[in-house]
Structures are given as C-alpha cells and as structure tokens.
Amino acid sequence: MADADRYPPIGDYALIGDGRAAALVSRPGSIDWCCMPRMDHGSCFGRILDWDTGGYCSIGRVGEHQSTREYLEGSLVLATRFANAAGVGRLIDFFVVGDDDQASRLVRIVEVERGRAEVDVRVEPRFDYGSLSPWLRGHGPGVWSATGGDDALLITADHHLETTRHGISGTVAIEAGERFRLAVTFAEPEELEAALERLPDSSRLDQMLETSLQWWRDWSSQARLDGTHTPGVLRSAIVLKALANPVTGAIAAAPTTSLPEAPGGSLNWDYRYSWIRDSTFSVRSLAEIGFEAEADAFRRFVERSAAGSADGLQIMYGLGGARRLTEVTLEHLEGYRGAAPVRIGNAAWSQRQLDVYGEIVELAWRWHERGHAPDDDYWRFLLDVINNVASVWREPDRSLWEIRGEPQQFVHSKVMCWAALDRGVALAESSLRQAPLDEWRRQRDTVRRDIERHGYDDNRGIFVQAYGTDKLDAALLLLPTVGFLAWDDERMIRTVDAIQADLDDNGLLLRYRPERRLQGIRATREGVFLACTFWLAECLAHQGRVDEAEAAYGRALGAGNELGLYAEEYDTSEREPLGNFPQGLTHLSQISAAVALDRARTRTRIGQGAPA
C-alpha cells in the first residue's frame, strides 16, 4: 500500500526543460521526474511514480525557512527564494539552451544574498524508470559518472560531496556572495570519456545561466501581445515551447506519464508523444501570438513521419518520429500515490481518429494564409490525405477522447472530415493546384447533410456527441474553429448553453459524462477537463457574451498553480490538479481563450465609441 502523504500534490511541481529533456521540480527543491536526453526516454529521476525506488535529485535547505518561487521574467528558468534568520538565498534550476555545447544538461545553482545558508544535497539516479541502480564512479574531485544500460549521466559539483551506496550526498555551507553549482549532463555510455573532457567548470555554468536566460527572453520577445491577459498567455507559450523538440519538430502532449486522471485510479496514460491534434492546436495558438517557426517544423515532422502518404498517417508519433508506441505496464512501480498501473507507450497510437485528417489540412490552410504555398511534395501529401477522407468519413472512430470502448459516429470527428474537404477545396483553388474539386465539394456537402441529420437533436435544437445518442460532449465547442458553424449561430449558442448546464462541475466542465469504461479500466471519477472550460470561454467571447467568458476563463485560471502551470484535469472537491503535468492542451487552450477575450473586449470598446 502506497503512503500517499509522501507524494506532493501535482500542482506543487514546476517544469524546466529545453524542448528535448524535461524535469519536474518540487516546492522543497527535489527533482522527482526527469527524462534525458528526450522526454520519451526512460526516466533517470522518477520518484513521482515510486517514492522508494524512482530516484531523485534534491537540494533542500537545512532548518526552518520560508520560500517563494517564480520563473525569471520571460524564461523557463526557475528561481526558488528562501529565507530564515541565518540568511537569504535562492535556488536556480534550468536546462541549458542557446549554448554551443549541445549536450542535454540540467543545472542547479544555489546563491546566497545575505548571511549564510546550509543545503542538503542528494543525487540518487535510477535508470529505466527506477529499475536499474547505476554504476557510480568518481573521476576526480567533484566529478562522477553514473552508467547502466544505454544511459549515462555525468554529475559535477563545485563543493565536496560524498559517494554513498545509492548516490552522492552531503551538506554544503554557502556564505553571502557565494554560489554552489550542481550539473547533471546526459552522455552516451560509449562516449563517456570524451564527454568527461568537455565538462564545463563553474564559471562556464554561470555563463550558461546567462546564455539560457537570454535565449528564452529573445524567443519570448517575439510575442505579439497587448491584452490584459499577457502574463498568463506568455507563460503558456513558454510551456508549449518547452514541449516542442527543436531537432525533430515534434510537440509532446506533456512531459510525464501515468499521473492519474482520477485519484488512486487506473486512468494513467503516457503523454510523452506528439499527437497530431494537440500539436496542431499548439502551433495554431503559438502562431496567433507571433510564433510561426514551430508550425513549419511540426508540419514537416508530420509529413516525414507519415512517409509522405495518408496510408502512413497515425494519430501520434514518438518525439523522434517512432511509429510503434506499444503500451507496456511497469509492474515494479507503485504509481503516484498508489495509482497503478504505471504505463509507458500508448495503445492509442493504432486507433482510428478521423479528426486528424481535418487537423492536417487545417494546418496547411493556415500556413497558406500566412503566405506559404504548398510545394509539390507537400501538395501530393495533402492530396492523398483529402482523397482518403472522401473514402473513410462514414466510418466510426474513437474520437479525440480516445475512447477505448466500441467506435462510434462522433460528431466532432465528422465535422473535422468536413473541414478537411472544405479546406482542401479552398487550398486547391487559392494555390492553383489540380485536384478533384467537384468530388471534394460533393463529399463535403454530403458530410454536412449527414451531420445535420444524424448529429443534431431537433427537439432541443443542439448538436450531440455522436449519432444515435442524446449525450453532450465538450468537443462540440470546437465546431466553429473550422468554420462549420458561425460562433453566433443560434444552434451553436443553444449547444453552448446545453453543455454548460449538463457538463458543469462546480463551475468547470467535464469533457463528457462517461459510461464506465471497458476493457478492465476501473470505475473511477474523472476530474474536470480544463481545456474544455477554456474552450467555453473562447466560444462565449466570440458570441459577444464577454462577461460570461471572463468568468469562465477566471474559473479555469484558478485551477493552475502559482506559476501558471496547468494539468490535464482538476479535482473540484479536493482542489488539486489531476493527470499529466503540465498539459500542453490546457495551455494552448488558455492562449486561444485569452486572445478571443482580448479581441472581444476591443470590439466592445470600439462599439461603444472608445479608441481601439
């Protein structure tokens, strides 16, 4: 039986990362989750999934103290300030970015501003999700290697630490004006000797801090933001950038696996992969506020990973483009607060989710609207995708919620098939490309008639989750984003109102009211799905219901932590985040809602005769 009290709440963690690797840092200063050199690699610190065996890297202040934490302005560099009668200082955590040395490197710096501080340092790596205690060796003062399997870490410290049976530890005293530096660098085991020769000294680590800060600030300064929600929007944009692999173009849905959607339950999934849908939403949101390079990188990632054809298309890929993401249960881990099983891989990779076709063509259309016509290779890929939609749109699927029961005729999926055909027609006409336009138009119009006949409840005047049911689904809030309906269409207004009434849970929205899941998934109560409340706020803003939109937006914001980080779900009774953390879909939805709100407020001011 797990001792749940040992595990901090999910919202107590902060994210640091470089787009390739990522780590979660607890409020007391422990890195309890870290995967290097890439987020979908095995963990080297992982006690968030098993407190006894997962491994960690802790820098804790000795004695009673008060602490606060923040990200340094415009960056993903975390600073935790601590103070007591003896002294005042801060712990700075970051991954190195913008440096000529391309190694995946985590750096932790303690600096004392006044008085004196003592910190307790413990580094206990565990490879392959806690299953392997590494071979630990010293290589001179302050340098250690930890190796095992296909993993190797180089650990450096500029104060004396002892080697123990399980890792490296010691108490370090730091005076005002001094710093203590600890670095953890990933290395390929066969290249360990060469990596040892390239290790940075203390002054170089200080320089890396400044370089990393400048890199993040240079990137974030590109944002086109002038609304009242700017700080939160920029923080969400930085989170999305941290999930975007700078080498491959893939965008991870989250940096973690198996953080539960329901307390103590079995709804525990691996989100360290690039879903076409979530990633398309991400680049759309980033492009809205001025970041366009990520959209092109992801567009090329999808085309390459699908081998240039619709036949090779999947709903998700590994962060390097891997296609087979077999789901495996790790029996040796107890799970976060006992929520088992812990899973790596994700069986959803082989699901049929028809909405991805629409997302791909929508991405191409938006890329074209920003002045980029498809080249020959890209057009052939799109042609294949759209022709495939015309053949498969009638089939049932698992929806964007990845239902593990029987496939159904989900309305949102059908609408995205309509969008693929509609955007395909517009793209071919605008870019003067040859395509079977008459057939695409005919199929597009047939899809619309089918949805309006089978996916619409005439008695209530609203759209429903799937054909043959009267249930609602928060995904219906997305219908206007691709132009299937106007935001203020009466049917859409009624659907929004019905979703608010039926899916509300203490002011936040469930994604749907599920029947108990199949295939051995234990019956547990899910939390509210935070992206859905941001979708609601976006809809209300576009409908001119700005005060309602602001209220919904504010309720969703209240489910984040003080750093502006959001999980996938939220437990409204315990007031705790649930699910993988931080969740890209929540952050990108927050951006879209904030942009819609700011534009709605501007329209209101102009309508009242005020200057824009």
What pLDDT score was predicted for residue 520? 44
Residues in the chain: 612
Q: How many CB atoms lie within 10 A of CB 332?
A: 12
Tokens of 573: 């009774």
pTM score of the predicted model = 0.94
Q: How many CB atoms lie within 10 A of CB 88?
A: 17
Confidence band (pLDDT; 50, 70, 90) for 2?
Answer: low
What pLDDT score was predicted for residue 210? 97
Provide the greatest CA pair distance for the chain. Answer: 78
DSSP state of 39: T
The CATH number of the domain where 116 resides is what?
A: 2.70.98.10
Lowest-confidence pick of 160-174, 408-422, 518-532, 535-549:
518-532
338 sits in which H/E element: none
Residue 106 has pLDDT above 90, yes or no: yes
DSSP string of 190-241, one letter each residue: GGHHHHHHT---HHHHHHHHHHHHHHHHHHHTT----STTHHHHHHHHHHHH
Domain assignment of residue 358, yes or no:
no
Confidence band (pLDDT; 50, 70, 90) for 255?
Answer: very high
Domain assignment of residue 228, yes or no:
no
Compute the average pLDDT of residues 229-251.
94
How many whole angstroms separate alpha carbon 76 and alpha carbon 459? 50
Range of the domain at 76: 4-220
What pLDDT score was predicted for residue 610? 55
Judging by DSSP bridges, how do beta strands 456-457 and 342-344 pair with one another?
A: unpaired
Q: How many CB atoms lie within 10 A of CB 45?
A: 28
Tokens of 166: 């399980």
Confidence band (pLDDT; 50, 70, 90) for 516?
Answer: very low
Q: Which amino acid is at 358?
A: G
Compute the average pLDDT of residues 373-394.
93
What pLDDT score was predicted for residue 607? 65
Domain assignment of residue 163, yes or no:
yes
pLDDT tens track for 444-467: 999 999 999 999 999 999 999 999
Q: Which amino acid is at 136?
A: L
What pLDDT score was predicted for residue 91? 97
Residue 428 has pLDDT above 50, yes or no: yes
- Among candidates 18, 81, 31, 390, which has minimal Cα distance to 212? 18
Backbone φ and ψ for 60, nearest 5 degrees, come out as -115, 145
Domain assignment of residue 154, yes or no:
yes
What pLDDT score was predicted for residue 518? 39
Residue 247 has pLDDT above 80, yes or no: yes
Mean pLDDT of the chain: 92
Q: Which amino acid is at 405?
A: G
Q: How far apart are the first and last CA of the chain?
A: 60
Number of compact structural domains in the chain: 1
Domain assignment of residue 77, yes or no:
yes
